[in-house]
């Protein structure tokens, strides 16, 4: 009998969307690699502290420091930077000193703080991938540390294939989901499954262009179909009731 279950392919990573909003992240180093890491962290609303002598900051990192987008500690890393009361959730190193990087990694392992040591895959608890970003849409391509440049090329190819306005469509879907929860606020498993099932059918039936063109009135008209279980087309909800027509007869039909 053929196996109907997925085959296991070992050697991969568990790809997650790590929520670090308002969490403390320590970046050690201030060069080009650190600059890229900082952008990713700030886009995820993390609280970033950069440990690096001021002379080692490149133009972009110095700009982040000047704008107070990050906190800067003007020296090399010291163990006190990871004192428990600082609640550091993650450490990223991007320095040109392999021995120092390894010592930092071992110290992080001792404290059970997840760490990424730039360009040293065996000393990484997690990897950065190449990310396509369009509003709320994020698509990450990871080569598990084998080929970052190739990951970037693949990411660009994927981005080029996506329909224009995909990110805006996803925003509209989020707004629609929130509106639906207000209209049908039930919290039982049955209620949740019904909402999810109906939303799935809407997403399967409507195109990116449909969601882009949807306005507040269209959204309200759409959720009114929820109780019936029907999923209308975009054209259906755009059909407006005809205004009442008042006929005026002037006798031209030959009526008396």
Catalytic sites, residue numbers: 119
- Three-state DSSP state, 190: helix
**74 CB-near residues (< 8 Å, 6+ apart):** 52, 53, 54
Q: Is 230 left (phi over 0), alpha (psi -120 to 50) or beta?
A: beta
Q: Which two tokens stand for residue 34?
A: 């650190």
Of the candidates 113, 105, 164, the one whose C-alpha atom is nearest the C-alpha of residue 135 is 164
Q: How many helices (H) and strands (E) does the chain have?
A: 9, 7
Q: How buried is residue 93: exposed, middle or buried, by Cβ count under 10 Å (0-12/13-18/19+)?
A: buried
């Amino acid at each position: 009998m053929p196996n109907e279950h997925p085959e296991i392919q070992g050697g991969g990573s568990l790809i997650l969307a790590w929520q670090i909003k308002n969490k403390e992240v320590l970046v050690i180093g201030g060069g080009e690699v650190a600059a890229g890491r900082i952008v990713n962290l700030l886009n995820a609303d993390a609280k970033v502290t950069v440990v690096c002598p001021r002379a080692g900051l490149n133009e972009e990192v110095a700009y982040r420091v000047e704008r107070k987008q990050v906190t800067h500690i003007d020296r090399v890393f010291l163990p006190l930077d990871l004192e428990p009361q600082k609640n550091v959730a993650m450490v990223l190193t991007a320095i040109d000193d392999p021995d120092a990087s390894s010592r930092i990694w071992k110290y992080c392992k001792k404290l059970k703080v997840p760490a990424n040591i730039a360009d040293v895959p065996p000393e990484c608890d997690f990897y950065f991938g190449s990310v396509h970003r369009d509003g709320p849409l994020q698509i990450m391509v990871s080569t598990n540390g084998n080929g970052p440049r190739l990951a970037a090329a693949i990411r660009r190819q994927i981005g080029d294939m996506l329909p224009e306005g995909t990110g805006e469509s996803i925003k509209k879907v989020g707004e629609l989901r929130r509106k639906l929860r207000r209209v049908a606020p039930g919290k039982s498993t049955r209620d949740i499954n019904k909402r999810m099932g109906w939303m799935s059918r809407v997403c399967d039936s409507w195109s990116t262009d449909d969601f882009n063109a949807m306005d507040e009135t269209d959204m309200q008209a759409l959720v009114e179909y929820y109780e019936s279980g029907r999923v209308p087309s975009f054209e259906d909800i755009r059909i407006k009731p005809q205004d009442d027509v008042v006929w005026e007869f002037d006798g031209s039909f030959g009526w008396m």
